[in-house]
């Protein structure tokens, strides 16, 4: 359609505007609009081309590295899971007694037969540790979330949440989002001694959690504003209360983060192996969990550098029960 015919159509569609009186103006305006659309289209095309090219280069680089998706998965989220050597004991029962967990809600939420054995961690006194894997990571993020939320904690009371946001405690995903308790989340907040922590152990918990980030947020577990941060806080408190070494605590925290965010940590494993010439099993867990790699911003920087690793498209856990 010619420019003249286009103007005629517009004139018919919008009869309350008289083009004859301002013909030159409208022709100029229309030409300008067409030029603008052309520029936007061209820019989008260039951007698309550059994105495809960057992804293609990332794929070629990945293929040349000799690293496979299977080898990354075997290291980051092994099928057999990760065993955390601690004593669970009656933690689950205490969570029910404190109101942090509503047993009926939990039974309904985990009525699938695959959770039958896991539910004994809530109802029974369990000897030995816990194992996190691809099938039970959802159960453990919630159960440890309940522990982190209700445990009497200097991190909660004296940290950012309990001081700067004292009047808005219920506004976070880790508080307002908790719906599996028999009490309101604000009432549960730092309200029960599920595990005994000395003043020195409380300080150690604060120090460790300040060094543990998660890729869904930009904050450390010392500011547990989402479920993953609160769950890590609960895990750290439980392990510190039993005198487990910092090294083992960081290893356990990295394992839980990895099962909650498999793509993130497979990407990071590829980054360390391909870009830093460091095997994933040799990288210091504390380093990986730091702000430079495990925070939302840190991971975004790494992701920009490595591009999309072929085959690693699985998403991470959501911030809600």
Q: Are residues 51 and 139 in the same domain?
A: no
Query: What range defines the domain where residue 220 resides?
Result: 72-306
What is the Cα–Cα distance from 51 to 45, expressed in whole angstroms?
10
- CB distance 280 to 314 below 8 Å: no
pTM: 0.79
The pLDDT assigned to 308 comes to 83
Query: Is 112 a domain residue?
Result: yes
Query: Is 98 a domain residue?
Result: yes
Longest dimension (CA), the chain: 89
Query: Is 314 a domain residue?
Result: no
Query: Is 315 a domain residue?
Result: no
The pLDDT assigned to 116 comes to 96
Q: Are residues 227 and 135 in the same domain?
A: yes
Residue 181 main-chain phi, psi, to 5 deg = -100, 165
The pLDDT assigned to 8 comes to 41
The pLDDT assigned to 65 comes to 54
What is the Cα–Cα distance from 265 to 272, expressed in whole angstroms?
10
Query: Is 79 a domain residue?
Result: yes
Query: Is 311 a domain residue?
Result: no
Q: Are residues 25 and 49 in the same domain?
A: yes
Mind listing the pLDDT tens digit of every residue in the chain (321 residues)?
A: 433 343 343 344 433 434 344 445 444 444 455 444 444 444 443 433 333 344 455 545 555 556 788 889 999 999 999 999 999 999 999 999 999 999 999 999 999 999 999 999 999 999 989 999 999 999 999 999 999 999 999 999 999 999 999 999 999 999 999 999 999 999 999 999 999 999 999 999 999 999 999 999 889 999 999 999 999 999 999 999 999 999 999 999 999 999 999 999 999 999 999 999 999 999 999 999 999 999 999 999 999 999 887 665 544 555 666
- CB distance 294 to 218 below 8 Å: no
Q: Are residues 263 and 129 in the same domain?
A: yes
Of the residues 65, 91, 117, the one at which a domain ends: 65
The pLDDT assigned to 319 comes to 62
The DSSP letter of residue 83 is E
Query: Is 249 a domain residue?
Result: yes
Which helix (DSSP H) or strand (DSSP E) does residue 202 occupy?
Answer: helix 199-209
Q: Are residues 40 and 80 in the same domain?
A: no
Q: Are residues 14 and 101 in the same domain?
A: no
Q: At what angle do helices 23-65 and 3-13 cross, to 10 degrees?
A: 110
Q: Are residues 42 and 103 in the same domain?
A: no
- Tell me how many domains the chain contains: 2
β-strand partners of 126: 89
Does residue 230 sit in helix, strand or coil?
helix
Q: Are residues 233 and 157 in the same domain?
A: yes
For the stretch 101-108, contacts whose Cβ atoms lie closer than 8 Å and that sit 24 or more positions apart, written own/partner, are: 101/143, 101/146, 101/180, 101/181, 101/182, 102/180, 102/181, 102/182, 105/179, 105/180, 105/181, 105/182, 106/180
């Amino acid at each position: 359609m010619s420019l003249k015919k286009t103007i005629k159509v517009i004139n018919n569609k919008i009869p309350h505007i008289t083009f004859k009186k301002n013909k030159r103006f409208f022709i100029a305006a229309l030409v300008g609009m067409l030029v603008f659309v052309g520029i936007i289209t061209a820019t989008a095309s260039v951007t698309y081309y550059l994105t495809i090219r960057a992804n293609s280069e990332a794929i070629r680089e990945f293929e040349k590295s000799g690293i496979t998706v299977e080898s990354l998965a075997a290291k980051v989220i092994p099928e057999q899971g990760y065993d955390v050597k601690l004593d669970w004991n009656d933690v689950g029962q205490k969570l029910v007694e404190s109101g942090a967990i509503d047993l009926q809600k939990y039974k309904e939420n985990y009525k699938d037969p695959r959770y039958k054995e896991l539910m004994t961690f809530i109802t029974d006194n369990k000897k030995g540790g816990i194992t996190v894997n691809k099938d039970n990571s959802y159960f453990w993020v919630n159960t440890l979330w309940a522990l982190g939320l209700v445990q009497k904690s200097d991190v909660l009371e004296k940290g950012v949440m309990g001081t700067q946001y004292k009047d808005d405690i219920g506004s976070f995903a880790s508080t307002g989002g908790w719906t599996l308790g028999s009490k309101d989340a604000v009432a549960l907040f730092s309200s029960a001694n599920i595990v005994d922590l000395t003043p020195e152990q409380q300080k150690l918990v604060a120090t460790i959690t300040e060094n543990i980030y998660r890729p869904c947020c930009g904050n450390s577990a010392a500011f547990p504003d989402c479920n993953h941060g609160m769950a890590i806080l609960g895990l750290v408190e439980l392990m510190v209360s039993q005198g487990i070494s910092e090294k083992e605590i960081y290893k356990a925290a990295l394992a839980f983060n990895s099962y909650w965010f498999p793509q993130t940590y497979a990407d990071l494993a590829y980054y360390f192996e391909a870009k830093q010439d460091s095997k994933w099993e040799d990288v210091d867990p504390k380093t990986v969990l730091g702000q430079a790699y495990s925070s939302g911003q840190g991971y975004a920087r790494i992701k920009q550098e490595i591009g999309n690793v072929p085959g690693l498209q699985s998403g991470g856990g959501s911030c809600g029960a």
